[in-house]
Chain A
Amino acid sequence: MIASPATQPNGAPPSRMTPGRIGIYAFLVVTALFFLTPLYVMIVTSLKTMGEIRLGAILALPRAPTFEPWIVAWSSACTGLRCNGISVGFLNSVKILVPSVIVSIAAGALTGYTLSFWKVRGAGLLFGTLMVVAFVPYQIFIYPLVRVLATIGINNSIPGIVLIHTIFGLPTMTLLFRNYFAALPPELFKAARVDGAGFFRIFWSVMLPMATPMLVVAIILQVTGIWNDFILGLVFAGRDNLPMTVQLNNIVNSTQGERAYNVDMAATILTALVPLVVYFASGRWFVRGIAAGAVKG
């Protein structure tokens, strides 16, 4: 079969938009809509008036968008006995977040550094134990920890919750940094030793600066994890320092009478805002964080 020159195959083959490929795109688009719908509904509901909400049509755009629910949620929604809005919770979450992130990452980095480069008897055992206990549900530790913290005198306080977050963050943070340091060329460490640097000097001046990618990943993981935490904040932070997640649950689930769904959704978005911003701002780093934290050992 000799084709005429005009129809001879030449160059790139015609576009391979087979039914298979169309099916792939269709599946992805439909699934993407499924994933986006809750976010969309959240935003849309928070901008509607209660009158409009009562009419139903949960997917409809607001006819007369208003930020009133947001203002109410921020400054006058009732979380239990007080009605100062969820801004109180926001401030508490920040007060908890900043020290917790710093301390837990510092502890993890130092521990990971020590276990990577320095010969310690039982290092393997310590690391292995840390990895194992990371899987244990919190419920096992809650009562004893409450007693311990109360005895030290820091229960129901910011230092208390910071300590708790550090304790429970130690396995993952140590894993992150230890794996990262273990992948660096060992000659780096030897060169620093030959240069005469001591334990903390090497950590502070050589290893920590090199670990910037992992610091970014650690910050992302800890900010997301600590901000989203509910159970630890509920138990250990104390009534005056309840984080935003706890306040949010109080606003939505413990209202008597008719619920102000638009205020509820506004408060929900406000609570989700910080990790969402971190997520969208961090791009590929978030995925790196998952990959690094998911590889245990």
Chain B
Amino acid sequence: MSEQTSTVITVVAVDQGSATTGLLGAGQRLARDINGEHLVIACGGTDSPFVAMLSGSADRVIAVESAELANGHPEVWLNTICAISSENNLASIILGSDILSQEITPRLAQRLGGSSIGDAQELSANDGGLIITRSVYGGKAVADIQLTASPAVVWVRSQSMEPAETNATAGTIVAGKVDKTTAPRTQLVDTHEEEAEGERLEDAQIIVSGGRGLGGPEPFEDLVALANVLKAQNSASRAACDLGWVPHSWQVGQTGKKVAPQLYLAVAISGASQHMMGIADSKVIAAINTDSEAPIFKYCQFGLVEDHKQVVGPLIEKLAELLK
């Protein structure tokens, strides 16, 4: 690549499973749009299968083997990406929707003198720079926003991005190193993983979700039983999480997880626009709600207007029979 070639960096800070290929796709298409180089930065060994997979959709991969990066230390990631950025003619940095990426997006922009934004659903480029499309006002409106200062640093809604294509020739893989010029001020002292049962919510094919209308934590036990029959995952609206009925890791919506299942079954969820922002990429949305006027039905392919108390128990039995 010549010195004039612009580079789009895709940072794979966290392996987001199936969403990682959406993140790669976003970077790959943007690099093609601006006729630039697609450089992927990831944590891993140069001969690891993960890095090999990434190289299929990149011109170059910088693979950095580091326990600090693997543990997700934001400041170490930040320093390392900044050091690599300064060696390239950078147009843009694309990151995923994981918490780590969200945290470092504005900080990268500020350090590199660029501009930043989050939750991009579409990316395009013109002479004025990168244009991103995103939901605003809690999903009630959609905005096109131009990032005028270069580099444009953006975290994208990885799970709703088209997957990357595999190039005819894999990109080169080089070993990178952690930048130690500046010692991190913040120390990572403890990590706690909640017991994940089965796959990640973001990768789930079927999701059974509950909301404030359930009236308490007990009905969630029935939704867990329903999910078991369907081999599904459970989630909840923000209201149900804030009330302490279920853990916050269950929260789906604008400020929770963004999911894209084949079926999202919403039980006693009214369907505020903020909640819908998290499930907009679902193939089929279905709802059980007592209120036929509830906004959720506007987004549903099918729905049942009944009280969940009368429905969930018999529904489990019926499904157990059908799916035997």
Task: Report whether chain A binds chain B.
Answer: no
Interface residues of A (CB under 8 A from B): none
